[in-house]
Amino acid sequence: MKILGEQIFAKDAEGRQVSRIGTLFFKTPGLVTRRGIHAMQRMMWIDDINAGRAAAGLAPLTEAEEDEELAQSVDLIFTDEHVLIRPDPDHMDLAMKADEVLQTLVSKRKIRFLNTHAAKVRNALRARGENWRMARQPISQDDMVRLIESSKVAISGEPIYYYNSATGTRYVTVGGSEGLAHLPPAACREQLKEAQKMLVRRNRLGHVELDLFPTTTPVEIKQKFKSLDVDSLTDEQLCETVERFDAEWRMSIPAELREESVDNFEWRNAMCATITQEANETSADERELIQGISPEFYRQIEWLPGLRITDGEIIFDPLWDEYNRTRDPELAEICDPRVRNILFNFTRQFGEFEYVNVGRISKSLARRPITGSRRGSVYILQYKIAGQPESRVSILRFQKWGVAEHLDEGKDLLTAMFEANDYSDYIMDRRIMCRQLGMNLPPYLGAGQFPEQYNGQNQYRGTTIRTTYFIREYVPGTASDKIPPARFRNPVFALKFARLMGEAAALDLVVGRRSSETKENLFDKNYEVVQFGPDGLPRGIMVSDHAGSFVNYLHTFEDAVAPYANVVRRRFGFVSDPKAFANAYVSAFEAKLEAVQECYRARRSSFDELLMHRPFDSAGSVAYRWTKTLERLDGCNPKNVAAKLREAIEA
The answer to whether the CB of 176 falls within 8 A of the CB of 161 is yes
Phi, psi (deg, nearest 5) at residue 251:
-70, -20
Beta partners for residue 162, in sequence order: 152, 171
pLDDT at 209: 94
pLDDT at 368: 45
pLDDT at 393: 94
Pair type for strands 2-4 and 30-32: parallel
Beta partners for residue 111, in sequence order: 83
pLDDT at 511: 97
Residue 607 identity: F
- Helical H segments across 56-184, by residue range: 63-71, 92-102, 119-126, 141-150, 174-178
User: What b-and-e string marks burial along 374-389, b requiring 16 or more CB atoms within 10 Å of the CB?
Assistant: eebbbbbbbbbeeeee
Return the CA Rg of the chain: 30
pLDDT at 125: 95
d(CA 43, CA 23): 11
d(CA 164, CA 277): 7
d(CA 241, CA 496): 38
Q: Over the stretch 632-647, which tens digit does the pLDDT of each residue have?
A: 999 999 999 999 999 9
Reported in sequence order, the residue ranges of 196-324 that DSSP labels E, i.e. its strands, are 210-212, 301-310, 313-316
Q: Using omega within 30 degrees of 0 as the cis cutoff, is the peptide bond preceding 214 cis?
A: yes
Residue 376 has pLDDT above 70, yes or no: no
Q: Over the stretch 435-478, which tens digit does the pLDDT of each residue have?
A: 999 999 999 999 999 999 999 989 999 999 999 999 999 999 99
Task: Tell which wins on pLDDT, 137 or 553.
Answer: 553
Nearest one of 294, 309, 399, 292 to 353, comparing CA atoms: 309
d(CA 468, CA 451): 9
Mean pLDDT of 605-629: 95
Mean pLDDT of 418-442: 96
478-650: CATH, from 1.20.1070, 3.40.50, 1.10.10, 1.10.1070: 1.10.1070
Residue 334 identity: I
pLDDT at 364: 56
Mean pLDDT of 56-82: 94
d(CA 181, CA 92): 52
pLDDT at 312: 82
In the chain, where the domains are located: 2-115, 141-276, 291-473, 478-650
The answer to whether the CB of 462 falls within 8 A of the CB of 453 is yes
Q: Over the stretch 560-579, which tens digit does the pLDDT of each residue have?
A: 999 999 999 999 999 999 99
pLDDT at 32: 96
Number of H helices, E strands in the chain: 23, 20
Residue 168 has pLDDT above 70, yes or no: yes
Nearest one of 469, 467, 459, 471 to 403, comparing CA atoms: 467
pLDDT at 34: 94
Q: Over the stretch 7-33, which tens digit does the pLDDT of each residue have?
A: 999 998 888 888 899 999 999 999 999
Q: How far is it between the farthest Cα atoms of the chain?
A: 102
Mean pLDDT of 532-552: 95
Nearest one of 394, 405, 297, 299 to 343, comparing CA atoms: 394
Nearest one of 539, 532, 548, 540 to 504, comparing CA atoms: 540
The answer to whether the CB of 262 falls within 8 A of the CB of 145 is yes
Residue 372 has pLDDT above 80, yes or no: no
Residue 401 identity: W
pLDDT at 166: 86
Residue 172 identity: V
Q: Residue 48 is inside which H or E element, if any?
A: helix 38-55
Please report, in angstroms and rounded to a whole number, the separation of the first and last CA atoms in the chain.
77
d(CA 494, CA 610): 37
Mean pLDDT of 182-211: 91
Q: Over the stretch 271-327, which tens digit does the pLDDT of each residue have?
A: 999 999 887 888 888 888 898 888 788 888 999 999 998 888 899 999 999 999 999
Residue 81 has pLDDT above 90, yes or no: no
Residue 90 has pLDDT above 70, yes or no: yes
d(CA 382, CA 356): 6
User: What b-and-e string marks burial along 14-42, b requiring 16 or more CB atoms within 10 Å of the CB?
Assistant: eeeebbebbbbbeebebbbbbebebeebb
Nearest one of 135, 180, 134 to 157, comparing CA atoms: 180
Residue 50 pLDDT level (bands cut at 50, 70, 90): very high
Sign of the CA dihedral running 576, 579, 580, 581: positive
How many residues are given for the chain? 651
Task: Tell which wins on pLDDT, 202 or 371.
Answer: 202
Phi, psi (deg, nearest 5) at residue 314:
-80, 120
Burial of 500 (0-12, 13-18, 19+ CB in 10 A): buried
Q: Over the stretch 404-417, which tens digit does the pLDDT of each residue have?
A: 999 999 999 999 99
For the entire predicted model, the pTM comes to: 0.84
- Helical H segments across 469-538, by residue range: 491-511
Nearest one of 459, 463, 465 to 412, comparing CA atoms: 459
Comparing 56-70, 251-265, 541-555, the range with the smallest average pLDDT is 251-265
d(CA 24, CA 263): 47
pLDDT at 108: 94
Q: What percent of the chain is predicted at pLDDT more than 90?
A: 76
pLDDT at 267: 93
Q: Over the stretch 488-511, which tens digit does the pLDDT of each residue have?
A: 999 999 999 999 999 999 999 999
Collapsing DSSP to helix, strand or coil, 442 comes out as coil
d(CA 482, CA 495): 17
Mean pLDDT of the chain: 92
Residue 158 pLDDT level (bands cut at 50, 70, 90): confident
In Å, what is the CA distance from 139 to each residue of 133, 300, 596?
A: 16, 6, 42
The answer to whether the CB of 583 falls within 8 A of the CB of 502 is no
